[in-house]
A and B are shown apart, each in its own frame.
Chain A
Amino acid sequence: AQSVTQLDSQVPVFEEAPVELRCNYSSSVSVYLFWYVQYPNQGLQLLLKYLSGSTLVKSINGFEAEFNKSQTSFHLRKPSVHISDTAEYFCAVSVKNTDKLIFGTGTRLQVFP
């Protein structure tokens, strides 16, 4: 079975500071990896995904994540955060050729001015 661990339930950070949200997964088979973001009172939105190829993937709003197979990690980073990045961030995995997304418990990123 697959599982996703997000070790940090909350990450407070000041505006323009760098941030890293950690995600580790467990799976005996190959998986796809995802980061979703949930802004207050909204549904989840796909932020970025790793399916294959380059292990570093980037989003249009400055976030990036790196797939590390040996450490079974897919940490999310941003070099300089904005107030508008305040949200809940969910890491997720799905086994290749299946349709089921397994989510982590989420990390609340709180950006302060």
Chain B
Amino acid sequence: DTAVSQTPKYLVTQMGNDKSIKCEQNLGHDTMYWYKQDSKKFLKIMFSYNNKELIINETVPNRFSPKSPDKAHLNLHINSLELGDSAVYFCASRPHDRAGEQYFGPGTRLTVT
């Protein structure tokens, strides 16, 4: 009965590798997001999708590419990983017409060595 799920929960990888994080929501929401939380707990939006269409694309390096195969899934692919990419990445979704009311996944802790 998980609402917003992410896999994997932990990801340890070396610089230069390519990795993906998957997100799925079973809430029937149209809008999904990716956030990055740094080591100081600062949370910043990266992308948002509405019904598979990109809506928000913050100033994120091109190495980050979101993909939404359907409105229940929003995956994040990262190319050529760098040390500074180490963070916790959160996926979230939002019901239609509920401004700001976002449901967050448990997070994926990415460590780049």
Q: Once the chains bind, are B41 and A88 in contact (CB under 8 Å)?
A: yes
Q: Once the chains bind, are A46 and B101 in contact (CB under 8 Å)?
A: yes
Chain A residues closer than 8 Å to B90, beta-carbon distance: 43-44
Q: Once the chains bind, are A51 and B99 in contact (CB under 8 Å)?
A: yes
Q: Given that A51-B99, A94-B99 are contacting pairs, would A43 and B41 also be in contact in the complex, using a CB cutoff of 8 Å? A: no
Interface centre among B41, B45, B103, B105 (most CB of A within 10 A): B41
Q: Once the chains bind, are B106 and A49 in contact (CB under 8 Å)?
A: no
Chain A residues closer than 8 Å to B40, beta-carbon distance: 105
Nearest Cβ on chain B to A91's Cβ, whole angstroms: 11
A45 to B102, CA, bound (A): 8
A101 to B37, CA, bound (A): 14
Chain A, Cβ-Cβ closest to B50 = A99
Q: Once the chains bind, are A99 and B31 in contact (CB under 8 Å)?
A: yes
Which of B41, B50, B100 meets A94, CB within 8 Å? B100
Chain B residues closer than 8 Å to A34, beta-carbon distance: 100-101
Say yes or no for A28: interface residue by CB 8 A criterion: no
Residue interface bits A14-54, CB-to-B below 8 A is 1, else 0: 00000000000000000010100010011111100101000
> Total interface residues on B, using CB and 8 Å?
24
Interface centre among B48, B94, B99, B103 (most CB of A within 10 A): B99
Q: Given that A49-B101, A51-B99, A99-B55 are contacting pairs, would A43 and B42 also be in contact in the complex, using a CB cutoff of 8 Å? A: no
Chain B residues closer than 8 Å to A38, beta-carbon distance: 41
Q: Once the chains bind, are B99 and A96 in contact (CB under 8 Å)?
A: yes
Which of B94, B99, B101, B105 meets A43, CB within 8 Å? B105
Q: Given that A43-B4, A43-B90, A44-B90 are contacting pairs, would A100 and B45 also be in contact in the complex, using a CB cutoff of 8 Å? A: yes
Interface centre among B31, B43, B90 (most CB of A within 10 A): B43
Chain A, Cβ-Cβ closest to B106 = A43
Chain A, Cβ-Cβ closest to B43 = A103
Q: Once the chains bind, are B104 and A44 in contact (CB under 8 Å)?
A: yes
> B residues within 8 Å of A by Cβ?
4, 31, 40-45, 48, 50, 55-56, 90, 92, 94, 99-107
